[in-house]
Amino acid sequence: ELLPVVIPAAGVGKRMQADRPKQYLSLGGKTLLEQTLAQIAKHPSIGEIILVISPEDEYFGSLKTLDASRVTRVDGGTERVNSVLCGLQALTNKGYQADQWVLVHDAARPCITTADIESLLAIREQAYAGGILAFPVRDTMKQARHNSGPSIDTTVPRELLWHALTPQMFRLGELTQAIEQGLADGHPITDEASAMEHMGHNVKLVNGSPTNIKVTTPSDLDLAAFYLTAMQA
């Protein structure tokens, strides 16, 4: 059975401070977006790809390596969560059922490996509403007194803290409902799991690779190039 994937790629990449959205910056001879798509598309369990792009985007049209038989472009929204919702709605409109498992993966994470996707897919056999790739926090974690003044209030026990990554995998109907409810409640939704948690669903943390970084700042681009080369070696 092939799973559809939604790839939000409608951001502006403000923190990258480049002349174009970061997904169109060059990485290993292609754009960052094309690298991410290639990594996702090569997993044998991935089927259709819904690519969420800004309606104002000026760069998408010049991409060359897209497989039009698998990739559908959908208009994105103001925040990541709105873009993801547009992608999920497109899947429903295409006839996917509510119980269909769906992956959501950031365009900005090109270093996703087949092995990590495999680990995430494996939880379909278990009693969870879905799961996310993540890895345990390693540094000592400090909580500040104020978000402006950099002085320490306390040290937060890190045993229970994980970094949330993508892909994240849920059932199409439950995830769509959770996001719509979270938006209606004004609940902060920075990833799919946060919407599912808000609904009381049980979400599995799947140990993933810390090299699956989100390219956010200029130095991340060099790091991603390094990891990609290492992956292909």
Work out how close the CB of 217 gets to ligand CTP at its nearest, in angstroms, rounded to a whole number.
8
Report how far residue 51's alpha carbon sits from residue 44's, in angstroms, rounded to the nearest whole number.
18
Q: What is the DSSP string of 105-170?
A: --TT-TT--HHHHHHHHGGGGSSSSEEEEEEE--SPEEEESSSSS--EEEEEP-TT-EEEEEEEEE
Three-point CA angle 141, 146, 150, nearest 5°: 65
Does 100 bind ligand CTP (CB under 6 A)? Our answer is no
Give the one entry of Mg ion, ligand CTP, none that residue 131 binds, where binding means its C-beta sits below a cut-off of 5 to 8 angstroms depending on kind.
none
Q: Which is nearer to ligand CTP, 44 or 89 (CB)?
A: 89
Q: Among residues 28 and 77, whose Cβ is nearest to ligand CTP?
A: 77
CB closest to ligand CTP, residue no: 11
Question: What phi and psi, each to the nearest 5 degrees, are found at residue 43?
Answer: -75, 130
How many residues make contact with ligand CTP (CB under 6 A)? 21
- Going by the DSSP 8-state scheme, the letter that residue 229 receives in this structure is H
Q: Give the binding range for Mg ion (CB under 5 A) out of 8-16, 59-67, 109-117, 164-172.
A: 8-16
From 77, 78, 72, 75, select the one nearest 55 (Cα to Cα): 75
- Is 35 a binding residue for ligand CTP by CB under 6 A? The answer is no
Question: Least Å distance between CB 130 and ligand CTP?
Answer: 19
Q: Any contact of residue 108 with ligand CTP (CB under 6 A)? A: yes
Would you count residue 221 as binding ligand CTP (CB under 6 A)? Answer: no
Residue 76 binding ligand CTP, by CB under 6 A: yes
Q: Please name the helix (run of DSSP H) or strand (run of DSSP E) that holds residue 44, with its range, or none.
A: none
Tokens 């402006």 correspond to 148
> Binding residues for ligand CTP, per CB under 6 A?
8-15, 23, 52, 76-80, 83, 106-108, 214, 216
